[in-house]
Amino acid sequence: MEKLLLILAAFNWGAICFVSVVHYPLFADVHEAVFVKYHQKHVSRTTLLLGTTLSLEMVLQVLWFFEGPKDLSRGLPLSFLGLGWLITFLVSVPQHRKLEQGFSKKAHQILMVSNWGRVVCWGVVTWYSFS
């Protein structure tokens, strides 16, 4: 199971990095007339791909935690995954809801900054998966 967790962690971290470095910054360059449709496509396609892999990773990480010794090497990755999910639900999702109505510079900035928290969380999980 450790190899699968490593693959999922590395994939998810890479995808989240891509979104932070490439995709979210481009939101500001999308013309207002097409932004809502563009954002809708971004959310549906990203959710289809990452919603699946992120959820699978979380389920497997919980199972892995409970099947072995309860130590830092198992608890820390699970804790950072939990923190990453909290950032997602408490910060990212509300900002996406605002962007569904049209581009908002403030919502965009909050989304870009908060996604770096997710990069760090999944980066720690990936790093621990390699250890």
Query: Given CA atoms 85, 86, 87, 93 in this order, what sign does their dihedral have?
Result: positive
The residue type found at 112 is: M
CA atoms within 13 A on the CB side of 41: 8
Q: Is the pLDDT of residue 131 over 90?
A: no
pLDDT at 54 over 90: yes
Determine the distance from the C-alpha atom of residue 49 to the mean position of all C-alpha atoms in its chain, rounded to a whole number. Answer: 11
The pLDDT of residue 97 is 97
pLDDT of residue 74: 80
pTM of the model: 0.89
The average pLDDT across 86-109 equals 97
**Calpha distance 75→19 (Å, rounded):** 27
Q: Is residue 66's pLDDT more than 80? A: yes
